[in-house]
Amino acid sequence: MWLEENIDENSPLMKRVEFVTLQSCEKRDTEVHYKNVSRKYLVLDLNDGKLMSEVGKTVDPFGFEEHIHDKFADSFFLARVWAEKGLAERGRRHIRSLYRKYPEKFFDVTFGKSLEPVKCSYIIDEMTSQKRVCVKEDETKGLLAPMDEYINKIKAYEEVIKQQQHLIAQVTSENKDEPRPYLIIEEKTGTI
């Protein structure tokens, strides 16, 4: 595909490359879809002659006239203007033919009067990651089962403690009904 292999790191087109990360979340009754898209793209304005001549330089020439455009691109003033105009037209044709063949590689497309793209963004590289999380009740109960088990153990332990406290209270209340002195003093009556 164009620009994925053909672009040079020193090319002026590399300065125009942009990056964006799009995150989306869609919730349904039974599941949630998460989607992350990391995109490397190039914003193109087909009316910008300088940009289109740079695009034209990345396309291999076909025919005598296009070879001459490549040769005169770095020549004297009048020849360079003529060559850049030809390179720009080659770049426009290339972008339009790419759009016809691979419309999924373009986004934010603006069309002109002739229904040809005038401004667009070309996706050089795109990474997509998706994640699906189920939110059914059965599955959430399955996830919460250890927590419910722990709570039930705590409640059972609380019941045992309450029963012990109740038994202690009963035993201590019987002792309170029959007061028992700590010291017993006996008096003896009798003769000596």
What's the whole-model pTM score? 0.59
Range among 57-61, 69-73, 159-163 with highest mean pLDDT value: 159-163
- CB-based contacts of 95, cutoff 8 Å, min separation 6: 44, 46, 52, 55, 117, 120, 122
Question: How confident is the model over 133-192, as pLDDT tens digits?
Answer: 887 655 555 556 677 787 888 888 888 888 888 888 887 765 555 555 555 556 656 555
Strands 31-45 and 117-134, by their bridges, are antiparallel
Domain parsing of the chain, residue ranges: 12-134, 136-178
